[in-house]
Amino acid sequence: MHSKTIYYTLIIFPVLFVVCMADAIFASDSSKNYSILIDLIKLEDKQGPFFALNDFEKSFDQDLHKESIEFFNQHPDLIKKIQADLDDQPIQWRLKNISHRLMYVPETREEYTAIFERYCNDVVKDILRLTESNNPYITIHTLGASKPENSATKGIDAFIVHNLGKEYVATYVFSNKDQKEIAIELTGKIFLGEVGSYSSYISLNENGSFEFTRDHFTIWQNSAKNPYTALITPVEETLHIILRQYTERSIQDRIENSAVKTLKEVEAIVEDWISVEEAIVGGLVYALLPSTVEKYIPDLPDSLVESDIKTKIEFKKYRHLRKGIKIVEQLGYKKSIKMYQDDPMTFRNLLM
């Protein structure tokens, strides 16, 4: 059976200084202070080498398609050559297929790895306690150069990486009115520009049925222009994991109770609900900030928090973020979570 899939699912200190600080940070479990992470996150931003996280898979990816279009726009001589080879006739083009896989740059600084992993474990424990949620994780660890094995048990692996990207292969077919065709294959790598990833998929089968699947892993990047963005990634992605089943339920209800039939229509529903999930997650992160991140980094500058929000709202999927923060502040985080669990549409209506 064939199916189509929608994805809906970046100051140099001497090493001796870092080691000493690590000893100081963990001298007392009752008063952990991870303020050093503010500087360590900015310490290095390696662009490679890349390693594959998973195998190539065929599915449409809007960002990669845009990357290919930009390549053609920047190489008009290539288009002229294609047109000449097609007898100088008007040409049409189409995307034949595109395959992609996640790539990552591993973190190789052992001292930083140890500190960041401990911070992630501590902040995740706090989130699970505050939200009264079960621990979804099998492990939380930093990836090395070896591709991780698929976990055979139920649960999610949290992989920490230094940088995250995608490698892709795309084939575009150009043709003229006489049906003469030329195929162009593009390959490349791009950085994702997102410091966290947890993907779900909805597959539409030929018989009209559909099903949800989710990755058995989440990826957390330990580098970012804004250190706060990396610091809240374990919090954000854990909340996405906790709430994703309720988002999927709403997507399913919306599809079943509408006349939606095409892939494009389903994509619109998915995009709408992901923006709602981002709004409540963003609101919860902000509301829980004093009990999580600020607990371990008491001198966290407020300017970093505001800068993160300003950067996010430039992207469409975060268009309800500020309102989500306001709603969670008004309702309280526990009531907000319960509302989303009981009836996500009620929370969505507050955003509109």
pLDDT score at 261: 65
Mean pLDDT of the chain: 84
Residue recorded with tokens 């209800």: 253
> Would you say 198 and 235 are in contact if contact means Cβ atoms under 8 Å apart?
no
Pairing of strands 163-175, 200-205: unpaired
pLDDT band at 346 (very low <50, low <70, confident <90, very high): very high
pLDDT band at 164 (very low <50, low <70, confident <90, very high): confident
Asked if the peptide bond before residue 76 counts as cis, ω within 30 degrees of 0, the response is no
Residues of the chain with pLDDT > 90, as a percent, come to: 45
pLDDT > 60? residue 181: yes
d(CA 31, CA 24): 11
pLDDT score at 153: 64
pLDDT > 70? residue 121: yes
pLDDT score at 98: 85
Residue recorded with tokens 């004093």: 290
Least confident of 56-60, 73-77, 216-220, 250-254: 56-60
pLDDT score at 282: 97
pLDDT > 60? residue 322: yes
Q: Specify which of 38-42, 51-55, 212-216 reaches the highest per-range mean pLDDT.
A: 38-42
**123-142: burial string, b at 16+ Cβ within 10 Å, e else:** bbebbbebbeeeebbbebbb
Q: What is the DSSP string of 115-177?
A: HHHHHHHHHHHHHHHHHT----EEEEEE--SSPPPPP-SSSEEEEEESEEEEEEEEEEEEE-T
The token duo for 312 is 């996010």
Provide the domain limits for residue 308. Answer: 3-351
> Looking at per-residue confidence, does 129 or 54 come out higher?
129
pLDDT band at 24 (very low <50, low <70, confident <90, very high): very low
Q: Where are the alpha helices (DSSP H) in the chain?
A: 15-25, 37-40, 62-74, 76-85, 110-131, 227-231, 233-256, 263-288, 293-296, 302-312, 321-331, 333-342, 344-351
pLDDT score at 152: 55
> Looking at per-residue confidence, does 165 or 27 come out higher?
165
pLDDT score at 89: 87
Which amino acid is present at 55?
A: D
pLDDT band at 142 (very low <50, low <70, confident <90, very high): very high
Q: What is the pLDDT of residues 83-102, one digit of tens each?
A: 898 888 888 888 888 888 88
Residue recorded with tokens 């006489």: 178
Q: Specify which of 43-47, 145-149, 218-222 reaches the highest per-range mean pLDDT.
A: 218-222
d(CA 163, CA 41): 11
Q: What is the mean pLDDT of residues 240-245?
A: 95
Using DSSP's 3-state secondary structure scheme, residue 72 falls into helix
> Looking at per-residue confidence, does 221 or 1 come out higher?
221
Which amino acid is present at 213?
A: T
The Cα angle at residue 141 between residues 139 and 142, in degrees rounded to 5? 155
User: Cα separations (Å) of 213 from 6, 9, 204, 310, 322?
Assistant: 11, 11, 12, 32, 30
- Computed on alpha carbons and rounded to an integer, the radius of gyration of the chain in Å comes to 22
pLDDT score at 308: 94
Q: What is the mean pLDDT of residues 138-164?
A: 83
pLDDT score at 45: 67
Longest dimension (CA), the chain: 76
Number of domains into which the chain is organized: 1
pLDDT band at 350 (very low <50, low <70, confident <90, very high): very high
d(CA 325, CA 286): 7
Q: What is the pLDDT of residues 261-314, one digit of tens each?
A: 677 788 888 899 999 999 999 999 999 999 999 999 999 999 999 999 999 999
> Would you say 166 and 189 are in contact if contact means Cβ atoms under 8 Å apart?
yes
pLDDT score at 268: 86
- Residue (of 174, 197, 160, 171) closest to 100 by Cα position: 171
Residues of the chain with pLDDT > 70, as a percent, come to: 87
Residue recorded with tokens 């065929």: 58
Q: What is the pLDDT of residues 61-89, one digit of tens each?
A: 777 788 888 888 899 899 889 989 888 88
d(CA 218, CA 9): 11
